[in-house]
Amino acid sequence: MTPFGNYSNYYDLIYGQKDYRAEVSYLIELIDKYPGRHVKSILDLGCGTCGHAFLLAERGYEVTGVDRSESMLAIARNKGERSQAQLEFINGDIRNVRLEKKFDAVISMFAVMGYQTTNDDFERTLRNSSKYLKKNGLLVFDVWFGPAVIAQKPTDRMLSIDHYGDKIIRFSHPELDIMHHRVVVHYTVLRIKKDVCVDCVNEEHVMRFFFPLELEYFLQTTGYRLLAIVPFMEKERTPTECDWNVTVIARRS
């Protein structure tokens, strides 16, 4: 089952509390913290509905967003019609998408790299991003941190959202696969209208978690130099088993 099919219809509702503005400010702080070249153009791999991309464009960056989910991009294009921000949308697989230009920086946020669940997928994605990143350009992405996933272990969750009189309920049931560094997350999303279920979406999302040395190895073998691994939304501290999400910063050689 391909992720982000009908689930896309509820994506922005489910993640409505996500602080994209704070995350974009964080990204810009990282760009300033690790100067290698002046950053004007940014490639957003796995851009989804472009929560980060629109805000970066509003801050003056030239942004191109790539995503393989046409339904997610359709939502992004609809947002674009109501926004003055200028950015380009491309439907494509981040492992092999073909582009016509190179960029000063590449980002891949909200655990997009975690959807590259095999070594081949992850390596192909890094090599492809390197192809479109200018020399000394910056790569920034976030992933699930292996030590934390193993220590804390994923658990069942439920999220309930009121939306114009309807109730959107999402159930998450994860299954940990230690040998393959994966968590298989089974999502069920229900839309309840006047106590009647009017829509039901079931999707399976397979997420990979990563360990520091494997990140360093894959980055080195694909033309990058690892600069830092820090807890998500932080810039200095060394991650521990308490930090489920980490940010990875690397520079293209």
Note whether 139 and 20 are same-domain residues. Answer: yes
Say if 140 falls within a structural domain: yes
Q: What total number of domains does the chain contain?
A: 2
The pTM (predicted TM-score) of the whole model is: 0.96
Note whether 64 and 130 are same-domain residues. Answer: yes
Note whether 90 and 170 are same-domain residues. Answer: no
| CATH code where residue 199 lies | 2.20.25
Note whether 42 and 160 are same-domain residues. Answer: no
Share of the chain above pLDDT 70, in %: 99
| CATH code where residue 244 lies | 3.40.50.150
Angle between helices 51-58 and 70-81 (to 10 degrees): 30
134-149 per-position pLDDT tens digit: 999 999 999 999 999 9
Say if 3 falls within a structural domain: no
**pLDDT at residue number 131:** 97
Give the separation between CA 132 and CA 99, rounded to whole angstroms: 7
**pLDDT at residue number 2:** 61
Say if 1 falls within a structural domain: no
Residue 3 pLDDT more than 80?
no
Domain of residue 119: give its range. Answer: 8-146+209-252
Give the separation between CA 146 and CA 180, rounded to whole angstroms: 11
**pLDDT at residue number 84:** 77
The H-or-E segment that residue 51 falls in is helix 51-58
242-252 per-position pLDDT tens digit: 999 999 999 99
**pLDDT at residue number 82:** 81
Strands (E), 70-181: 87-91, 103-108, 133-145, 157-163, 166-177
Note whether 55 and 178 are same-domain residues. Answer: no
Q: Write out the two tokens for 35.
A: 């100067």
Note whether 97 and 157 are same-domain residues. Answer: no
Which of 61-70, 72-81, 148-157, 176-185 comes out lowest in average pLDDT? 72-81
62-76 per-position pLDDT tens digit: 999 999 999 999 999
The H-or-E segment that residue 189 falls in is strand 182-193
Give the separation between CA 249 and CA 247, rounded to whole angstroms: 7
